[in-house]
Amino acid sequence: MVTETSPSARIEHVNLTVSDLDRSIALFQSLCGWHLRLRAMHGARGEFAHVGTDEDYLALWADGGDHSGQAKGRPLNHVGLQVADLDAAERAVRDAGLETFSHGKYEPGPRTFYFFHWDGIEFEVVSYA
């Protein structure tokens, strides 16, 4: 429960394991207009990148494994991405070779669609415009 004395909170980042770091960076740059904040070798194994804005981002970690065979949406339910232009966002997803589904409109709120990333991660794309 949020009270008048509760601090304001936001999602600062979501950490996702992906099979192809370059491919995932390119998708989120195209879909969201984000920039690459950081890319480096991971201390234990693999490589990671932060893609987002100056305030928040997706942390993408490539450990060298192929995660594309994982059950779609498991164990992560989905990540919500808010965009200004839902149609442009859908074009970016489709241009990346991914399928969109469950298009909807929640009254009185946003229009949405969903898609699965190559590694089975489910995303909901939302626009209040």
- Using a 10 angstrom Cβ sphere, with 0-12 exposed, 13-18 middle and 19 or more buried, the burial of residue 93 is buried
Angle (CA) 57 72 61, round 5° = 35
pTM of the model: 0.72
Residue 129 predicted with pLDDT over 90 = no
Q: Is residue 2 one of the residues assigned to a domain?
A: no
Q: Is 6 part of a structural domain of the chain?
A: no
Q: Which residue range(s) make up the domain with 101?
A: 13-127
Q: Which residue has the higher pLDDT, 69 or 16?
A: 16
Average pLDDT over residues 89-97: 96
**Count: domains in the chain:** 1
Is 1 a residue whose pLDDT tops 60? no
Going through 18-75 in order, the beta strands assigned E by DSSP cover: 35-41, 47-52, 57-62
> Model confidence over 11-63: pLDDT tens digits?
788 989 898 999 999 999 999 999 999 999 988 888 999 999 988 899 898 88
> Do the beta carbons of residue 73 and residue 79 sit within 8 Å?
no
Tell me, what CATH number does 72's domain have? Answer: 3.10.180.10
Q: Is residue 5 part of a domain?
A: no
Position 90 in a domain: yes
Q: Check: CB of residue 116 under 8 Å from CB of residue 98.
A: yes
